[in-house]
Structure 1
């Protein structure tokens, strides 16, 4: 398919983080962009401000007439349920229908493409690298899986006249989506079991990642692999935060509440670089971004300058309130490994503080598979408020709910709550730090918690 011959786009599930970045891209390219989603969110409101029309009713009657034309491309997410009325109708009568990942592949197939994959860390790595490429003036378009604080968007676009265009994308393993991509440079940040509804056994996930690693092409034809958790590849460049590999980081230290480290390339040492987002896991993510940047021959002083200007990513260790009395941090962690890394980082940044964690499990299948691991991760908190499981694309699984998970957690101060009742429960707790943790709609608590903290503690 030639995207230049497409005049209009209709996105089913436009409010998703991956879908919305594509919608923004085509809107900026001057195309007509419409979409549907279940409900208004902060992200859909932002899209509407940018001139994109969105409907929130699953009705066929409200579809624009041109949606069935040959000049329209219907883009869908695998998260759309099979009983969705618009989806059933468009699947039957639409002329052009593509999955989000297929469209991403079409955009990047004839351009230089860098694809960042991995169970954990791909959004942070991709956003850090996108910021570096943008800051040094490269002709980059980056599709992110999170909202960059620097650009207030999940799309970074820098149309400059000089230099070859580079597309930077996240390679999502869900539903084997990343196997549509054919990047010139790829990266796998971590290799941990997840998406158990797609990959019931880790071996199946490993096979998919190996298949992805073989899709790299010339020019470059390189894949950056984290030495600690990966596999062998003939075209690999390895990086590490433990071993002295081609690229590695070490000597992590804290000075005046700021984190710094030294980065080693194959030929030199870059001393005292800032780590904009704290934690060993984020040092690993930044090491990946720096390794690719050095491979692209970006001068180290320009990279250093970009790091000092990096403001972070929404819902990745986002500090929303900090005073002498209380601290509030929000994070997207939704896997036991990520929760462990988050709590460990908070403990290192704020030792001897009492942590109240509010966690929303994401997906019934994930909760069932990792029930024991979730329990052990959450036990590192001092106080726990456990929210109902966010179903996303799934139907309930018999016997799997927040109460069943709560029983596995060995701690004295724990309870289950719904989102509307969280604030009244917080008011009765004694804590130093609040953490909101999860990938569902737990972010709807951010503003109410912030407002309560400012009202009570100033």
Structure 2
């Protein structure tokens, strides 16, 4: 495919976090961009502000067919779109060029020097840190979250270097051709796609084999490459870790050098590991350690990754995308590190019936560590209900006397009744849309 001959790009599922970054990329590079999504959102609003034409009803009548020449039009869709989608089937039956999101990302980046970040956890934060480090190098970064420094999931640079989040879902990352890559984690996930954990592990091995230059892996993973670790022997080692006025300060030993007193503001050892992975990738590429140090110091974080919505002496509200037991454990550890003496309320929306079924015991163990738990119903996303797999079933397994199932309509009221000083709202569904309402209610209650 020659992307230079493409004049129009039509996105089905344009509001997705990965899709919208690519849509924004094409729009700012002079293509006419159109799209469908199920519902309006802050992401679709921002796309519309730069000229992307979006509608929210799946109907062929909404496609501006007069503007879409088959020879100059590319259709991009997300795997989350159902097979019976009317617009997708129209384009298939009409003979348009159609690619999945991963395929077009592979096309965009195949002629660049590509740095790919893979892993079942940590890839969005790691790729955002790396994108910030590589910004002075004029890299273009496609992110799976909104980087606070840029208020965007696209860091626009030139076309020689790319940073991409290499997503294992639907084996998407096998469409990429990374020169340098890292793997942050390989925990069991997406078993609705892979069937069993061994198939997921195999896909990571296949991804590792696609790396043309250097693979970097968290120490302990069953892959061959340069390793990184905190307070452990590895090719890239963070040590002398201190917490000073709400930030980490640490030193790093690389295979050939050493850098002292790196400052990093995101809490939790898992985020220090993410920073170390990004440092290692940038160092292998050839960015100076002093430049890396400065970019780590100024990195502000990623929206919905331990994002403080309220940080007050009376109340703290944290928003996080955590939707897997390992991620919930990481949030809990970070909260306890920052607020060791305070009571913590976790509000969790389970994501997918299959994930809830596959990891129910791990979810119950992770959530039992909080002082209070409020559970919303399972967010189905692309799935149909599974008999017996409910939020109530999960709630029953949580070992806590302070737990309850709550509706979205009653969530604010239940949170306002809590005596916990720290509130964390967790999940990958639409719980993120409720955070600002909770924030406003808490600010009124505490006169903030």
TM-score by length of 1: 0.95
447-456 or 116-125: bigger deviation: 447-456
> 1:246-285, CA deviations, whole angstroms, 9 ceiling, x for partnerless residues?
1111222111222211111123321221122111111111
Q: Which residue of 2 aligns with 1:97?
A: 98
RMSD between aligned residues: 1.2
Q: Which residue of 1 aligns with 2:331?
A: 342
Match of 1:417 among 398, 403, 406: 406
Please state if 1:253 is matched with 2:251. Answer: no
Q: Which residue of 2 aligns with 1:434?
A: 423
Aligned ranges 1:134-145 → 2 under 5 Å: 134=135, 137-145=136-144
Q: Which residue of 2 aligns with 1:383?
A: 372
Q: Which residue of 2 aligns with 1:332?
A: 321
Q: Distance in 1 between matches of 2:53 and 2:133?
A: 32
SS in 2 for 1:194: coil
Question: 1:68: how far off?
Answer: 5.9
The unaligned stretches of length 5 or more in structure 2 are none
296-305 or 6-15: bigger deviation: 296-305
Question: 1:351: how far off?
Answer: 0.9
SS in 2 for 1:400: coil
Q: When the two structures are aligned, how many residues end up with a matched partner?
A: 446
Tell me if structure 1 keeps the 8 A contact 2:247–2:266.
Answer: no
Q: Which residue of 2 aligns with 1:232?
A: 223
Q: Which residue of 1 aligns with 2:344?
A: 355
Q: Which residue of 1 aligns with 2:75?
A: 74
435-444 or 288-297: bigger deviation: 288-297
Tell me if structure 2 keeps the 8 A contact 1:68–1:94.
Answer: no
SS in 2 for 1:243: coil
Q: Which residue of 2 aligns with 1:173?
A: 168
Match of 1:311 among 281, 300, 309: 300
Question: 1:3: how far off?
Answer: 0.9
Tell me if structure 2 keeps the 8 A contact 1:126–1:169.
Answer: yes
Tell me if structure 2 keeps the 8 A contact 1:147–1:153.
Answer: yes
How has the CA–CA distance of structure 1 residues 67 and 405 changed in structure 2, closer, same or farther, with 3 Å as cutoff? farther
Q: Distance in 1 between matches of 2:153 and 2:357?
A: 31
Aligned ranges 1:155-194 → 2 under 5 Å: 155-159=154-158, 165-194=160-189
Q: Distance in 2 between matches of 1:320 and 1:38?
A: 27
Question: 1:305: how far off?
Answer: 1.6
Tell me if structure 2 keeps the 8 A contact 1:74–1:94.
Answer: no
Tell me if structure 1 keeps the 8 A contact 2:216–2:227.
Answer: yes
Q: Which residue of 1 aligns with 2:389?
A: 400
Tell me if structure 2 keeps the 8 A contact 1:67–1:74.
Answer: no
Q: Which residue of 1 aligns with 2:271?
A: 282
Q: Distance in 2 between matches of 1:369 and 1:183?
A: 31
> 1:369-408, CA deviations, whole angstroms, 9 ceiling, x for partnerless residues?
0011100000011111101111111111111111111111
Q: Which residue of 2 aligns with 1:120?
A: 121
TM-score by length of 2: 0.97
Tell me if structure 1 keeps the 8 A contact 2:246–2:265.
Answer: no
Q: Which residue of 2 aligns with 1:374?
A: 363
Q: Which residue of 1 aligns with 2:63?
A: 63
Q: Which residue of 1 aligns with 2:40?
A: 40
SS in 2 for 1:167: strand
Tell me if structure 1 keeps the 8 A contact 2:120–2:186.
Answer: yes
Q: Distance in 2 between matches of 1:251 and 1:200?
A: 42
Tell me if structure 2 keeps the 8 A contact 1:241–1:248.
Answer: yes
